Structure 1
Amino acid sequence: MTAEMFDAFYRGTVSRLTRYAYGLTGDPGEAQDLVQEAYARAWQHWRRVSGYDDVEAWLRLVIGRLVNDRWRRLLVRRAHAARTPPLPAVDPPSEATVLLVAALRQVPFEQRRAIVLYHLMDRSLADIAAETGSNLSTVKTRLTRGRAALAALLSVDTAANSGGTHVHGA
């Protein structure tokens, strides 16, 4: 069978098979993922699969096996989680951290990305340029402008939270 025949088969069966997978999982997103995986497997072996008497039944079998694998993985994950002690409680962020994150959210994305990559991820200017597809001059400009915007935002927030006096370490 050709690609056109596979396409026609797909168009004629995808709705039914998606309903089938949804009935098995109860999750529309998971159902779509399982059906997509089943069709990908059918396409990989289409020369052989297309000769079956009931190709749709073969796909239902594949979907059923994928659902079983999914449940098996969930059970293994649940068993592992039951054996693993809970993580220790994490302290809430400091007021300075909350202020910094709030201010970062107000800085334009490209400037914020440059600041985070440079100051939080310890990336070099050249690395940031390569990662963002920018030239070195652009990265330097974004950092400079981002720092200035961040400083202005933090000085306003800090003054408002401290009754007009500057908070040390913020």
Structure 2
Amino acid sequence: MDADEGFEQFYRATRHRVITVLFALGGDLGEAQDAAQEAYVRAWQRWQRLGEYDDPEAWVRMVGHRLLQNRWRKIRNGMTAYRRHGPAAAVGPPSENTVALVAALRQLPMEQREAIVLHHLTDLSVADIALQTSVPVGTVKARLARGRTALGRLLGATVLEEVNHA
């Protein structure tokens, strides 16, 4: 029997017990199934060594339980932070200029939109954009120029100036 068949037999023979134990420990069937799935993935990755253990199921249960504990810890820490800091401040609706800009950006070809967003919204240099998008610097410059021209036509010069200065 090869390793894959051995793991498959192990999985079929133990999955119900592992999920039952994790469900009993955590009280949430979906979380138990997720933790069991992740534990079995890790077991499969180590199956050559783990398959020789006296009780590989115990290893899977332990890993699954630790995964549940980590999830609980994240939830608990999130609740603690929420109680400490309160809910996030309400954010108002976007301005008319922002809505117009987003609508205009959607009308640009993807390459031009990407160059404009990376340059103007994330403050990347032309060289950094070229590196990130795997195109020559000249191509990035051309995309920026064409994109700005198209945005100017779509938005009108006044709205574009207001957005650039904001």
Coarse TM-score class (shorter-chain normalised): 0.7 to 0.9
Deviations 1:66-117 (A, max 9, x none): 1122113212221221221333322322101111011112212111110011
Which residue, 7, 10, 13 being the options, matches 1:10?
A: 7
RMSD, matched Cα? 3.4
Decide whether aligned partners of structure 1 residues 145 and 86 sit closer, same or farther in structure 2, where only a CA change above 3 A counts.
Answer: same
2:68 is aligned with what amino acid? Answer: V
Gaps of 5+ in 1: 159-165
Gaps of 5+ in 2: none
C-alpha displacement of 1:14:
6.7
C-alpha displacement of 1:10:
3.4
C-alpha displacement of 1:125:
1.1
2:162 aligned counterpart, secondary structure: coil
Partner of 2:113: 112
Sequence identity percentage: 40
Give 1 or 2: higher helix fraction.
Answer: 2
2:88 aligned counterpart, secondary structure: coil
1:169 aligned counterpart, secondary structure: helix
2:53 aligned counterpart, secondary structure: coil
Q: Structure 2: how far apart are the matches of 1:14 and 1:124?
A: 54
1:134 aligned counterpart, secondary structure: coil
Q: Decide whether the 8 Å contact of 2:101 with 2:155 is kept in 1.
A: yes
C-alpha displacement of 1:41:
5.4
Q: Decide whether the 8 Å contact of 2:35 with 2:65 is kept in 1.
A: no
C-alpha displacement of 1:169:
3.5
Decide whether aligned partners of structure 1 residues 34 and 104 sit closer, same or farther in structure 2, where only a CA change above 3 A counts.
Answer: farther
Decide whether aligned partners of structure 1 residues 98 and 14 sit closer, same or farther in structure 2, where only a CA change above 3 A counts.
Answer: farther
Farther-moved stretch of structure 1 (119-128 vs 18-27)? 18-27
Q: Structure 2: how far apart are the matches of 1:11 and 1:136?
A: 52
1:105 is aligned with what amino acid? Answer: R
Partner of 2:37: 35
Is residue 2:154 matched to residue 1:153? Answer: yes
Farther-moved stretch of structure 1 (62-71 vs 33-42)? 33-42
Deviations 1:31-59 (A, max 9, x none): 44652355325644852x32323323431
Aligned residues: 156
1:104 aligned counterpart, secondary structure: helix
Q: TM-score, normalised by structure 2?
A: 0.73
Q: Structure 2: how far apart are the matches of 1:115 and 1:126?
A: 13
Decide whether aligned partners of structure 1 residues 123 and 14 sit closer, same or farther in structure 2, where only a CA change above 3 A counts.
Answer: farther
1:63 aligned counterpart, secondary structure: helix
Q: Structure 2: how far apart are the matches of 1:11 and 1:95?
A: 58
Q: Structure 2: how far apart are the matches of 1:112 and 1:15?
A: 53
